[in-house]
Structure 1
Amino acid sequence: MAIKLNFGKIWQFIKDVFNKWLDDKAPKLGAALSFYTIFSLAPLLIIVISVAGFIFGPDAARGELVGQIEDLVGREGAEVVQTALKNTNDPKSGIIAIVVSLITLVIGSTAVFVELQESLDIIWRVKPKPGRNIFRGLLADRVQSFALVVATGFLLLVSLLVSTAIAALSNFVNERLLAVPIYVLDIANLIISFGVIFILFAMIYKVLPDVNLGWKDVWVGAMVTTVLFVLGKYLIGLYIGSSSLGSTYGAAGSLVIFLLWIYYSAQILFLGVEFTYIYTVRYGSGIKPSKRFMIYEINPITHDGG
């Protein structure tokens, strides 16, 4: 369906996105997601670094991860990640201890994605059909979430590979030709970062919610969310940098900053999902719930014309 929007409809579309964001109580969903993120942080980091460190080793993966997080949340916020990595213990010896550690690792690392999945289902207005096997549903949710955790580690690995390739190419050019301006490398790294975030959002939209989204809807939603995220990251950084949160909360300042960043980032993500929902209903392929799920409400906001 061709999209013909005038400024009036664009403004109405934006208002509808914010109205549905409020109707879905996104601030409350973001608070719950921030809470689960703290408890999932350590096991999530272990798996992501293990996957990304397959080629470069855990130290290089750890350094790259902390560096990217520091670019996002700042030095104080990244201290939470560094502390979590520092306090992470290696699995104990013995078959039983290893099995228990692995189970705990999987459950812990996927908790935040399961919570995110439930939040997305609320936004997409879908719920399990009556008679759905609860155990099978929980298992399927964990498997999906764990796959996304591993995929996140793979994305970090790809980011490492591309960054290393760019650095090697830069050295090669500098040795044989002219010096490469620093801004060229900055632009290249910015494009890489944008691409990684875009792919991650696309995976979240395609895998986590219990709806079958068309790829066109996924790409549009992921692109809009990525742009919102990049702009929001800059604004959040300005706010946190100009505030006195770190000194106000003393020793807990780093944790407060990290939680605040997760919370605001979750709101940006949910705004992107709300945009994708309304876009899909009005101009895309429509909402098609997964096999064992059903639509329980079509929000009147989503219909064209408000």
Structure 2
Amino acid sequence: MHAATISYYTLFSMIPLLYFIVIGFGKILGQDFCIQVITDIFQKNVGLNDIEVYTDYLKNLNQQSRSWALNFVMICVLLYSCSAFMVSLKHSMNDFFDITPNKQHKINIFLDVLKFRFFSLSYLALIALAIFLLYFLQIFVFSILSSWFAMLHFEYLLLQYVFSIVLNFVVIIFVFKFIQDGKISWSLASKGAFLTAVLLFLSQLIIKWYLQHYFFLGRGDLVGSIFILMAWVFYSAQVIFFGAKFTYIYGKRYP
């Protein structure tokens, strides 16, 4: 139920989020570079080999980005869909960490929800920034090592896997630490995030292989890409929720 809800909100929040990543970070890094980063992440992590459906749509929207009406509509859609995604994720984390929010007056509850919805965009922006920084670090490390050594294919893949685990770790520790209503120490969050990051990486390899070879909609165009993305989010969310429950049990047993 939790994973299905996350998949549902991911579908509606993805395009507005990618749109503002492109026009936001694109002003600094270049919009073509941002689209290339998005393409690499979708191809290497998710297994979507043909994502021209998304990138062409982003380029088309990018050409209209000076339209204040389009920007206003996208901001409204982004505020609702992304904040709904983060609120749903927080409710799921509360369940798996067995956290019951304190009873408050209805006005205070409304203000807290409203505040969290607006902070959700900041959280997502920080996660996007971390992804871009890690991407730059990966390019830098690969360029340095390739200039010093003749890297073998195995060593190249190994470094890619390490960076994938680090990326998973950064995102998961952020979720465990901040996207819930309780208080979790950095030590506990880091231990749980590391285990979950490794499990998530291994499961993503299996999910990617399955979706590319056996998923019955895997060779479609737009519909196939949407179903692959939703299936990938669904199964990845299951691993993250397992990691959250493990972290909760570990914290209870070894306080």
TM-score, normalization: structure 2? 0.86
Question: When the two structures are aligned, how many residues end up with a matched partner?
Answer: 252
Q: Unaligned regions of 5+ residues in structure 2, if any? A: none
State yes or no: 1:245 paired with 2:219. no
Call closer, same or farther: CA 1:123–1:83 in 2, change over 3 Å.
Answer: farther
Partner of 2:101, secondary structure, is strand
Distance 1:250 1:168 in 2: 34
**Letter of the structure 1 residue corresponding to residue 140 of structure 2:** A
The residue number in structure 2 matching 1:163 is 138
Q: Unaligned regions of 5+ residues in structure 1, if any? A: 1-27, 285-306
Distance 2:59 2:89 in 1: 26
Greater fraction of residues in helix: 2
Call closer, same or farther: CA 1:48–1:36 in 2, change over 3 Å.
Answer: same
The residue number in structure 1 matching 2:58 is 85
The residue number in structure 2 matching 1:134 is 109
Distance 2:16 2:250 in 1: 35
**Letter of the structure 1 residue corresponding to residue 133 of structure 2:** V
Choose from 198, 204, 210 the match for 2:169: 198
**Letter of the structure 1 residue corresponding to residue 43 of structure 2:** E
State yes or no: 1:123 paired with 2:93. no
Larger radius of gyration: 1
State yes or no: 1:211 paired with 2:186. no
Q: CA contact under 8 A between 2:9 and 2:81: conserved in structure 1?
A: no
Partner of 1:245, secondary structure, is coil
TM-score, normalization: structure 1? 0.73
State yes or no: 1:73 paired with 2:46. yes
Identity among equivalent pairs (%): 26
Distance 1:79 1:117 in 2: 32
Write out per-residue CA displacement over residues 30-72 of structure 1, whole angstroms, 9 at most, x where no aligned residue.
1111111100011121233445445431211211122112112
Give the superposition deviation at 1:251: 5.6
Q: CA contact under 8 A between 1:79 and 1:254: conserved in structure 2?
A: no
**Letter of the structure 1 residue corresponding to residue 103 of structure 2:** K
The residue number in structure 1 matching 2:250 is 279
Structural mapping, 1:1-306, within 5 Å: 28-50=1-23, 52-53=25-26, 55-75=28-48, 78=51, 81-82=54-55, 85-86=58-59, 88=61, 90-91=64-65, 93-94=67-68, 98-99=71-72, 101-125=74-98, 126-131=100-105, 133-173=108-148, 178-246=149-217, 252-284=223-255
Call closer, same or farther: CA 1:122–1:81 in 2, change over 3 Å.
Answer: farther
Call closer, same or farther: CA 1:223–1:79 in 2, change over 3 Å.
Answer: farther
Q: CA contact under 8 A between 1:225 and 1:272: conserved in structure 2?
A: yes
**Letter of the structure 2 residue corresponding to residue 73 of structure 1:** V
Partner of 1:127, secondary structure, is coil
Give the superposition deviation at 1:237: 2.2
Higher mean alpha-carbon deviation, 140-149 vs 213-222, is at: 140-149
Distance 2:229 2:57 in 1: 12
Write out per-residue CA displacement over residues 170-217 of structure 1, whole angstroms, 9 at most, x where no aligned residue.
4532xxxx5333433332232222111101100011111111101111
Distance 2:120 2:229 in 1: 22
Call closer, same or farther: CA 1:104–1:238 in 2, change over 3 Å.
Answer: closer
